[in-house]
Structure 1
Amino acid sequence: MRITPTPDQPGVPAADPLHGMNGPSHTRFANPAQLSPTGPLKPGWGLWQAAVGLVLVLALPLGATLALSSVLPFGPELVFVSLCFTWIALLGSSLLSSRLWGFGSLARDFGLRFKWIDLAIGVGVGIAARIILALVQVTITLVWPLGEGEVLQGNAGVFLAGDSGWIFVNAILGGALIAPFLEELFNRGLVLRAVQNAWWLRGSAKGQVSPATPQRSLTTATVVAILVSSLAFGLLHTGAVGDLRSSVYLLVGTFTVGVICGVLTVWTGRLGPAIVTHVVFNGSAIGLLLILPPELLT
C-alpha cells in the first residue's frame, strides 16, 4: 500500500500509519480509503452490522420461503422469491452500513471499484479457482470415499428448474451475475473489512468515521479477516443441500473460493477482481449443468 503524498510536499510520502506496527509500508489493507495522510480512519460500521447482515441473509429468504410454501409449490417461482430476499438482505446491509455509519459511498467503504485489468484477472483466477476446487474435491473423495450408490448434491441445480425463461432469470441473471456481485459486496466488502478493522484498529467509531490507532499486527488482522469472511461465506451456502457429505463438499468449495476472492480484494484494494472471479466461477458451473447430459452429472 502506497501512502498518498502530502499536498505541501509533492512526491514525498506522508507519515506512514503502518510503519512500526507490522513491517514495511507496502503492507496491503483491504480499504485504502481508510488510510489518510495523518493516520488510519475507522468507520462506525463493524462487526455488529456484519453479524446482523448475516442473520438477515439467512432469515429473510428462509422466512419468505416458509411463508409462501403453502401458496407456491417448490419450483422456479419460489426459488426466485428466495433469491430476491437474499439480495435485499445483502444489498440492504451494505447500503445502510455505508450510509449510516461510514463514508456514505460503496466505493470508499467497501472498495466497489473496477478497472479494465480486473476482467483479465477475474477470468484467469476464476478458471484457476474452478480447477483448484476440482483438485480439492478429488482429494476429499480419496480421503473420504463415496459409498455405493451415494451421490453428491450441489446447489446450482435448484436454479435450473422451469422453462428457459426461468433458467435465464434464476440461473444466468441471478446465479451467475447478480449473486456474485452482491455476495462480494457483502462478504468481501462489509464482512472482511469489519473483521480486519476490529482486529487491527482501535478507535471511538462514534458517528460515521473517526481517527483510529493500530492495536495489533495488520498482517494477522488480514489473515483472520480473510478466513472469517470465507467461513461465513461458506456457511451461508451449506443450507442448500440436505446431507452431511454434500454440505462438507459445499462448505470446503465455497470456503476455498472465498479465500481466493479475499486475497484478491486485499491485494488490489477493490472488489472488481473478486466480483469477476466469482462471476466466472459461478457461470462455469451453470454452463456445465446446461451443456452436459444429466446422466454425466449424477
Structure 2
Amino acid sequence: MVGMTQASRRSSRALVLAVVALAIAVALALSFPAWRGQLPYGWSLAASYLVTWGPLVIALIAGFAFWWRFLRFRAVDLVVGLGIGLVARAVGIIAQYASTGRMPSAGVMLGGISGTYVFTTVIAPVVLAPLIEEPFFRGLLQGSLSRGIRPWPALIVTSVAFALVHTIADGWSTTLIVTMLAFGLLAGYAVLRTKRLGPAIIGHAVFNGLAALITWPW
C-alpha cells in the first residue's frame, strides 16, 4: 500500500510538472511575437527555442525519477520508428496536397547554405526536438496522465496537446495540425504498447528528417 501511495504521488507530481511547464511554454510562445523584433536576429533565434523548450527541459529534469524508466531502446525500435516517421510524413504530404493542391517542395536559397540554416533545418528538429519533446510529451505527460485516466484518453489528450503546441509555435494551419496529430497518435500508441520511448524518438527524428530532406535547397 505504501508503494502504491508513493507511485501515485510521484505520478501526480509528474502531471503537475508537465501541465505547468506546458502552460508556461504556451504563454511564452504566444507573447514572443510581441518582443522578438526588439532582439538581434541571433538572440531572437535562440530565444525562440528557449521559450518553447526551456520549460519542458526544466520539467524533465525535475520529473526525471518518473519518466526515466521509459527511456529504453531496442533494435526493433529502429523499424517501428521508421514506420511512424514515414506514415506520419505521408499523412502530412497528403493533407498539404488536399489543402493547397501543391506538394511540398524545396525553397530558394540565396547566398548559400548557412550554419544557421543547418541548425534550424536539421540539428534542432532532427536531433534536439526528439530528445526533448518525446520524453516530455510521451514520457512525462502521457505517462502521468495514464495513471490518472485510462491510457487511451491519455494518449489522445497528449496528442492533441502536442499538435496544438506546434501550431501555436509555428503558426496555425490545417495541414500542420493534421500532420502533428497523426504523428502524436502514432508515437503515443507505440509508447503505450512498448512502454519505451525508443520508437517515438526514432520516429520523431525520421519524421522531421524527411521534412528537411523534402524542403532542402538541393
AA at the equivalent of 2:116: W
In 2, are the aligned partners of 1:239 and 1:247 still within 8 Å (CA)? no
| 1:1-298 paired onto structure 2 within 5 Å | 41-42=7-8, 43=10, 44-61=12-29, 63=31, 66-73=34-41, 77-98=43-64, 104=65, 106-108=67-69, 111-138=70-97, 140-141=98-99, 146=100, 163-199=113-149, 221-242=150-171, 247-291=173-217
Q: Which amino acid aligns with 1:261?
A: A
Percent identical among aligned pairs is: 30
Q: AA paired with 2:198? A: G
d(CA) in 2 for partners of 1:264 and 1:130?
16
Please report how far the alpha carbon of residue 226 of structure 1 lies from its aligned counterpart in structure 2 after TM superposition. Answer: 0.9
Is the Cα–Cα contact under 8 Å of residues 18 and 56 in structure 2 kept in the other structure? no
More helix by share: 2
Deviation (angstroms), 1:277: 0.3
Deviation track 1:132-185 (CA, whole Å, cap 9, x = no partner) reads: 3333445x53xxxx5xxx9899xxx8xxx9952112222211111101221111
Unaligned runs of 5+ in 2: none
Offset at residue 81 of structure 1 (A): 2.4
Residue type of the partner of 2:146?
Q
Change (3 A) 1:53 1:151: farther
SS in 2 for 1:78: helix
CA shift digits 1:201-231 (9 cap, x unpaired): xxxxxxxxxxxxxxxxxxxx11101110000
RMSD of aligned alpha carbons: 3.2
1:51-89 deviations in Å (ceiling 9; x for gaps): 10111222345556644521325xx65223211332222
C-alpha distance in 1 between matches for 2:141 and 2:177: 18
Between the two structures, name the one with larger relative contact order (CA 8 Å, sep ≥ 6). Answer: 2
Summarize deviations over 1:224-251 as a string: whole Å, max 9, x none.
Answer: 0111000000010112455xxx522211
Which residues of structure 1 form unaligned runs of 5+?
1-35, 99-103, 200-220, 293-298
**In structure 2, what is the Cα distance between the partners aligned to 1:85 and 1:241?**
13
Aligned partner letter, 2:68: A
Partner Cα separation in structure 2 for residue 266 and residue 258 of structure 1: 12
TM-score of the two chains, using structure 2 as the length reference: 0.81
Instruction: Assess, with a 3 A threshold, how the Cα gap between structure 1 residues 162 and 41 changes in structure 2: closer, same or farther.
Output: farther
Larger Rg: 1
Q: TM-score, with normalisation over the residues of structure 1?
A: 0.61
1:26 maps to what in 2? none
3-state DSSP of counterpart to 2:13: coil
Letter in structure 1 aligned against 2:161:
A
Deviation digits for residues 81-129 of structure 1, max 9, x if unmatched?
211332222111122123xxxxx26422xx1112222122212331122
Contact 1:196 1:222 in 2 (8 A): yes
Following the alignment from structure 1 to structure 2, what is the Cα–Cα distance between the partners of residues 248 and 48? Answer: 30
Change in CA separation of 1:228 and 1:289 when aligned onto 2, cut-off 3 Å = same
For the residue of structure 2 that corresponds to 1:114, the secondary structure is: coil
Give the 3-state SS of the residue equivalent to 1:69 in structure 2.
Answer: helix
Q: Which amino acid aligns with 1:183?
A: E
